[in-house]
Amino acid sequence: MVSPGGSFAVGTATHSQGRFDLSDLNEARAPRPRWQAYALVLAALIVVALGARWFASAGVNRNVKPARPAAAVAVAPVVLADVPETVSAIGTITPLDTATVRAQLSGTVTKVLFAEGQLVRAGQPIVQVDARPYALALQQAEAAFARDSATLTLARLDRQRYETLAAQDSIARQTLDNQRASVAQLEATVAADRAAIGLARLNLRYTTILAPFAGRIGLKQVTVGNFVSPQDAGGVAVVTRIDPIDVVFAVPQAQLADVQRKAGSGAGLPVTVRDQDNRTVLAQGTFLTFDNQINAATGTVQAKARVANPPVSGAGHLALFPNQFVNVTMLVNTLRQVPVVPVSALRHGPRGDFVFVVQPDQTVRIALVRPGPGDGIRSAVLEGLRAGQMVVSEGADGLDDGSAVRLPDAAKRR
């Protein structure tokens, strides 16, 4: 800067409001040491790393599920027992015989001798048809027989006389032959009269209509005063044989060979018939036979068993009724001393059937099994278990291999 006197002033500066030294400005613009910059960067990185770690740990803690508490379960021991191998099906009661009783001749009904639904015995009278015309016909046949018998007796006497005269050569031979022919004709007439008497007696007996066999009679089809004939489609009544009685049911074709083999051995296969609720035993019997072909639509074959039809105590009727639907159980075989578990213990998964076996440390292990026959309450296990093991029977939902369980006090003491 040039001073007013023409000289230069170096290192100084003038300001309208004050004065400062340039050396101070140069000192302020001097760079900071390099280590300070490195320290600032390092501190920033540490702060970022700590923040990232904090956020990461917070996210992991949010995603971690709390440990599942031990589930309360019910357990059952695996025991050895005899398990029946059965065929169960819905069956239909079928009578051995059903007959529509019709009149053997025409006439007017004079008496109805049965009560509807009554149990009748074989040969019991059930309807009476007016017998008077047939009784008169019998008398007429007997009269004709008496007349012709008398004529035959006289003709035989005449033949005897002619034979004596012919021996003395007192009459022509032709006269004797004619008499012998007359006797033969009369003998045939008497034989026809005797048959007519038998037919008349049979017709008279037919006026009393009898039950053809023992059974239950249905609703009456005629009343007193009705005219009946052999052509009546409905007859006078329907009688059904109900003791013994048959039950027809379907057997799957997969079990056909086992049943045939067991039945062919001579052992009668026991059959139990229960009511529709499958609770009350109605009757018991034995397997009888199979149908001669398998139903292609259902893959089953019709089987028939014969059972006794016991009376219901205090009810006045028999236990089984024709066309009644029942539950049929046929015993095919018995598995001796096999492991048995409750049906509720069996589970089903992608790998097959399994159960949860309780371990000593109160955890469960999945055991694959091969179930066998059962009765709806318990099931045989053919492979995968042994007697004495404990299996989960209730509360298995949500369990997995290794899950902790909480046992009932009784199971803990075991």
For residue range 160-186, list pLDDT tens digits in order: 888 888 888 888 889 888 989 999 999
pLDDT of res. 130: 95
**375 and 82 in contact (C-beta within 8 Å)?**
no
**13 and 26 in contact (C-beta within 8 Å)?**
no
DSSP assignments along 61-129, one per residue: HHHPPPPPPPEE-EEEE-EEEEEEEEEEEEEEEE-S-EEEE--SS-EEEEEE---TT-EE-TT-EEEEE
CB atoms inside a 10 Å sphere around CB 412: 10
Question: What does the mean pLDDT of the chain come to?
Answer: 84
Sequence-separated (6 or more) residues with CB below 8 Å from residue 88: 327, 328, 329, 330
Mean pLDDT of 58-83: 72
Per-residue pLDDT for 315 more than 70?
no
Per-residue pLDDT for 3 more than 70?
no
**SS3 call for 391:** strand
For residue range 248-271, list pLDDT tens digits in order: 999 998 888 888 888 776 667 899
pLDDT of res. 17: 44
Q: Quote the tokens at residue 221.
A: 């089809």
**CA nearest to 106, candidates 201, 232, 220:** 232
**CA nearest to 396, candidates 383, 405, 386:** 405
Instruction: Output DSSP code: residue 33.
Output: P
CATH topology of domain 85-93+241-413: Elongation Factor Tu (Ef-tu); domain 3 (2.40.30)
Rounded to the nearest 10 degrees, the angle between the axes of helix 173-206 and helix 132-167 is: 160
Distance CA 100, CA 377 (A): 46
Structure-derived torsion over alpha carbons of residues 348, 351, 352, 353, reported in degrees to the nearest 10: -60
- One-letter amino acid at 192 equals A
Long-range pairs for 145-149: beta carbons < 8 A, 24 or more residues apart: 145/190, 145/193, 145/194, 145/196, 145/197, 148/186, 148/189, 148/190, 148/193, 149/190, 149/193
**124 and 106 in contact (C-beta within 8 Å)?**
no
pLDDT of res. 11: 43
Structure-derived torsion over alpha carbons of residues 8, 12, 18, 23, reported in degrees to the nearest 10: 160
Position 7 confidence tier, pLDDT thresholds 50, 70, 90: very low
pLDDT of res. 70: 78
CATH for 131-206 is: 1.10.287.470
pLDDT of res. 332: 86
Q: Quote the tokens at residue 65.
A: 């599920």
Does residue 311 have a cis bond before it (omega within 30 degrees)?
Answer: no
Residue 329: strand pairing partners:
88, 272
Q: Quote the tokens at residue 278.
A: 């499958």
Instruction: Output DSSP code: residue 30.
Output: S
Distance CA 258, CA 138 (A): 63
| Ramachandran angles phi, psi of 194, nearest 5° | -65, -40
Mean pLDDT of 131-140: 95
For residue range 330-354, list pLDDT tens digits in order: 988 888 999 999 999 999 888 889 9
Sequence-separated (6 or more) residues with CB below 8 Å from residue 306: 244, 245, 246, 247, 285, 286, 288
Domain boundaries defined on the chain: 22-64, 85-93+241-413, 99-121+213-239, 131-206
- One-letter amino acid at 384 equals G
**CA nearest to 157, candidates 131, 182, 124, 134:** 182
